[in-house]
Homo-oligomer: A and B are copies of this chain.
Amino acid sequence: MHLPSSAIYLPHLAYDSVVFGFSGDSLRILIMEYHKTGWFALPGGFVRRDEHLDTAVKRGLKERTALDNIFLRQFHTFGATDRFDAAAMEAIMVANDIDPVANSWLLGRFVTVAYYALIDYKKVTLQPDALSDSVNWYAVGELPPLLFDHEHIVREALRTLRENLGRNLMETNLLPPLFTMKDLQCVYEAILGEPQHRSSFQRKMLASGLLERCEKLLTGAAHKAPYLYRFAPHPRSADE
């Protein structure tokens, strides 16, 4: 079986990614399940010796989601000595017919750099890797128990995402090029986990200078046709 080798990868250094998906209503996270163990974990990987850290994470994400140009942010590096569970890792290797002795570098301690990503999960075709049975979406709040310190990592990712929502959303590709104010509000509500007041939300968004209003929307809905908006290529400040 093809396995990462200590010759090409930096030892003791890994990354994990918390991939948030959004599809109109709920916020979910990408979780992978290891072969024959029933264990769940965040998708992660290793960094090649001549590769930019950010590039490694993009590469891993592309392998699993077939998506390029993903919105991706590093948020914390976890370096506790007890965060890694060598026994669990060895069990995973055994379940996958990997020789723990020949690959003992995988049993050592790892410092992991954690990233979060935001993608539209309707656009994704999930692709399990060599070690995993499946990669699936789980609603935040209904996650299975995760290996290592991955639940902690998820909590920190969600906290950071909520703090930075305003600054991030424009680049996330979570919305189509043209969208209604209602669409935008749904994204905010899914991520923040609480309803937003319609009229205040609209006023705030319009005042932010991040949006450009376009033409009308006509699709068959029994009500007034809403405007379409797009993210402004060059966000304007207040005085324009």
Contact = CB atoms under 8 A, between A and B. Distances in A.
A139 interface: no
A64 interface: no
A172 interface: no
Interface in A72-89: 74, 76-81
Interface string A30-55: 00000000000000000101111110
Contact of A111 (B13, B76, B78, B81): B13
A165 B161 CA distance: 19
A24 to B, nearest CB: 32
Given A10-B12, A12-B10, A47-B111, A53 B80 contact: yes
A111 B79 CA distance: 13
Contacts of A76: 74
A79 B13 CA distance: 11
A76 B81 CA distance: 19
Interface size, A (range): 20 to 34
A8 to B, nearest CB: 13
A81 B49 CA distance: 9
Nearest to A57: B79
Contacts of A53: 77-80, 111
Given A11-B12, A49-B109, A54 B79 contact: yes
A113 interface: yes
Interface of A: 10-13, 47, 49-54, 56, 74, 76-81, 109, 111, 113
The 6 closest A-B pairs by CB, nearest first: A53-B79, A77-B77, A10-B12, A77-B113, A52-B81, A52-B80
